[in-house]
Amino acid sequence: MHPVSARHVVILSLILLLLHLLHNLRIWLVPHANHQSGLLHVEKDDIWGLNFQGTAIPDVVDEVEEWQGVDKLGEWGLCPPGSFRLATMETCTPWLGCKEISDDVTVQTKIAQGAVKKIYKATWRGHTLAYSNLSNTAYLQDFLHGVEMLWNMQQTSHIVQLVGSCNTTLLTEYYRLGSAFHIKAILDRTSSDVRTRFNVAMSYIEAIHFLHNSPVGTRVMCDSYNLLHALSQFLVTEDLRLVLNDLDDIPEVNPEENVFVKCKRKHIKSPFNAPEQRWPFENEPFEDSRMPPYDEKIDIWKIPLVVRHLLGKVNGSDVVSSHLFQVHQRCRKRDPKQRPSATVVLKEYKRIRNMLFPE
Ligand SMILES: Nc1ncnc2c1ncn2[C@@H]1O[C@H](COP(=O)(O)OP(=O)(O)O)[C@@H](O)[C@H]1O
Ligand SMILES: [Mg+2]
């Protein structure tokens, strides 16, 4: 009996040891999985928490779903709402607030001065930024509107990246190539072919499409009273895309609520502007209160003129123009209702790109 018992004891011990090992293995494996998801969860919460310290606005928090959606659509490289990442940074960082700006940002040379802002080059922890200050207190509301729009429109690659803000100071990503005011010279200097130029035009259409379908409603690009002025509101990326930069004057249109816009409280004459932006009573003096309002279709009217400028006269631009002829003709309808939406224009541009410049 005894030897058998001893063998039994050994076998039993081995079974117990095996069970113990399996149990440990399970403990090691299962919590490991839990730990991972826990980590992810905490990391995400941490990011949201950090994001909304100080500079938080409730609307941005609501954009989380929007962001996840956009992310799924493949708009790579975007940070979660409330944070930013420059090309020279590895991770997303919460927007800078008053303290970080006064402690860590060094203002350098002046780059430009517009009606609303003075823009300087600046550095933060070795990274280059654009530092804008309100240039004229008469435009305080425009400046603040621009910052608020930036807060709300970060989940896209078609709008300049916000880095931080404090009162009448705004920090954005710095674009070495500057504004699209100089796009012709930039494209000529880089000997850009028709494909590159078409892609620049495409990025412009995408930005307008985003503006007309933004998280804060249908917005109109009011600050665009002539061709070069319209282009100066965009910046040029290293890979020659246009991103919309100046959001100071993008009022909302909402036909359901009977909300329309009037871009400038003055007599607009330039043919660059849509017919409905011009004073309709030719022989009578201009009176703003009698001027009928209009909608986002004024941006559609301008597309063919902007795109003609972007395409320029290079080998193949006449072929591209001939393919764009039909959609552009519709953009130039005098009746705004007959003009296509930005969604339709973008779809047509994509169709033409796939046909003329397949990947
Ligand atoms: N982030 C930036 N990077 C490089 N240049 C910039 C940047 N932001 C603005 N600029 C330059 O400053 C000009 C004026 O900027 P903008 O925001 O349009 O000012 P304003 O609101 O006064 O019109 C732009 O056209 C561009 O040349
Ligand atoms: Mg401007």
Residue 60 confidence (pLDDT) above 60:
no
CATH number of the structural domain spanning residue 290: 1.10.510.10
DSSP state, residue 231: H
pLDDT in tens, 238-248: 999 999 999 99
Instruction: Give the pLDDT of residue 217.
Output: 97
Q: Of the bound ligands, which one is closest to the alpha carbon of residue 161?
A: 1
Do residues 294 and 309 share a domain? yes
CA angle 268, 273, 275 (to 5 degrees): 85
Structural domain contains residue 56? no
One-letter amino acid identity for 115?
A
Q: What is the mean pLDDT of residues 328-351?
A: 98
Residue predicted with more confidence, 234 or 39: 234
Domain containing 135: what range? 80-173
Q: What is the mean pLDDT of residues 191-208?
A: 98
Task: Calculate the alpha carbon distances from 163 to 51, 68, 73, 107, 275 in Å.
Answer: 12, 20, 24, 14, 38
Do residues 234 and 148 share a domain? no
Do residues 224 and 331 share a domain? yes
Nearest to 307 by CA among 292, 293, 323: 323
Helix residue ranges, H only, 167-281: 183-189, 194-212, 227-231
CB-defined site of ligand 1, < 6 Å: 111-112, 114-117, 119, 130, 160, 172-175, 178-179, 181, 232-233, 235, 245-246, 248
DSSP state, residue 78: P
Residue 64 confidence (pLDDT) above 80:
no
Residue 78 confidence (pLDDT) above 50:
yes
Residue with CA nearest ligand 1 atom 23:
114
Structural domain contains residue 1? no
Residue 66 confidence (pLDDT) above 50:
no
Which of 105, 113, 119 to probe ligand 1 with, by most ligand atoms within 8 A of CB? 119
pLDDT in tens, 288-311: 899 999 999 999 999 999 999 999
Structural domain contains residue 115? yes
Structural domain contains residue 144? yes
97 CB neighbour count, 10 Å cutoff: 15
Does an H or E element contain 147, and which? helix 140-152
Q: What is the mean pLDDT of residues 103-116?
A: 96
**Cα–Cα distance for residue pair 275/259, rounded to 1 Å:** 19
Instruction: Give the pLDDT of residue 259.
Output: 96
Residue 23 confidence (pLDDT) above 60:
no
pLDDT in tens, 124-145: 999 999 999 999 999 999 999 9
pLDDT level of residue 231 (50, 70, 90 thresholds): very high
pLDDT level of residue 11 (50, 70, 90 thresholds): low
Do residues 197 and 324 share a domain? yes
Instruction: Give the pLDDT of residue 356.
Output: 98
Residue predicted with more confidence, 124 or 34: 124
Share of the chain above pLDDT 90, in %: 74
Do residues 300 and 328 share a domain? yes
Residues 303 and 328: beta-carbon distance below 8 Å: yes
Instruction: Give the pLDDT of residue 4.
Output: 54
Instruction: Give the pLDDT of residue 105.
Output: 98
Joined together, the tokens standing for residue 342 give: 């930005």
pLDDT level of residue 219 (50, 70, 90 thresholds): very high
Atom of ligand 1 nearest to the CA of 233: 18
Do residues 124 and 258 share a domain? no
Number of domains the chain is built from: 2
Structural domain contains residue 113? yes
| 195 Cα to the center of ligand 1, angstroms | 27
Q: Of the bound ligands, which one is closest to the alpha carbon of residue 175?
A: 1
Do residues 163 and 233 share a domain? no
Instruction: Give the pLDDT of residue 6.
Output: 65
Q: What is the mean pLDDT of residues 246-270?
A: 91
Residue with CA nearest ligand 1 atom 17:
246
Q: Which residues, other chains included, contact 219 with Cβ-Cβ below 8 Å and sequence gap of 6+?
A: 149, 211, 212, 250, 251, 252, 253, 296
Q: What are the two backbone dihedrals, phi and then psi, of residue 130, each rounded to the nearest 5 degrees?
A: -105, 130
Q: What is the mean pLDDT of residues 33-37?
A: 29
Residue with CA nearest ligand 1 atom 16:
246
Residues 248 and 116: beta-carbon distance below 8 Å: yes
Instruction: Give the pLDDT of residue 318.
Output: 97
Which of 136, 144, 179, 227 to probe ligand 1 with, by most ligand atoms within 8 A of CB? 179
Structural domain contains residue 63? no
| 135 Cα to the center of ligand 1, angstroms | 12
Atom of ligand 1 nearest to the CA of 232: 25
Do residues 185 and 166 share a domain? no
Do residues 342 and 239 share a domain? yes
Structural domain contains residue 339? yes
Residue with CA nearest ligand 1 atom 2:
174
| 52 Cα to the center of ligand 2, angstroms | 28
The helix-helix angle for 317-331 and 342-356 (nearest 10°) equals: 160
Q: Of the bound ligands, which one is closest to the alpha carbon of residue 225?
A: 2
Joined together, the tokens standing for residue 352 give: 């033409």
Residue 348 confidence (pLDDT) above 70:
yes
**Cα–Cα distance for residue pair 175/197, rounded to 1 Å:** 19
Do residues 155 and 196 share a domain? no
Residue after which a domain boundary falls, among 148, 173, 198: 173
pLDDT level of residue 282 (50, 70, 90 thresholds): confident
CATH number of the structural domain spanning residue 145: 3.30.200.20
**Cα–Cα distance for residue pair 73/47, rounded to 1 Å:** 21
Q: Of the bound ligands, which one is closest to the alpha carbon of residue 224?
A: 2
**Cα–Cα distance for residue pair 229/34, rounded to 1 Å:** 55
Residue after which a domain boundary falls, among 173, 203, 224: 173
Instruction: Give the pLDDT of residue 146.
Output: 98
| 82 Cα to the center of ligand 2, angstroms | 24
Residue 132: CA count within 13 A, CB half-sphere:
25
Q: What is the mean pLDDT of the chain?
A: 84
pLDDT in tens, 148-196: 999 999 999 999 999 999 999 999 999 999 999 999 999 999 999 999 9
Atom of ligand 1 nearest to the CA of 146: 21
pLDDT level of residue 335 (50, 70, 90 thresholds): very high
Residue after which a domain boundary falls, among 141, 173, 205: 173
Structural domain contains residue 67? no
Do residues 137 and 186 share a domain? no
Do residues 139 and 215 share a domain? no
Atom of ligand 1 nearest to the CA of 177: 4
Q: What is the mean pLDDT of residues 205-228?
A: 97
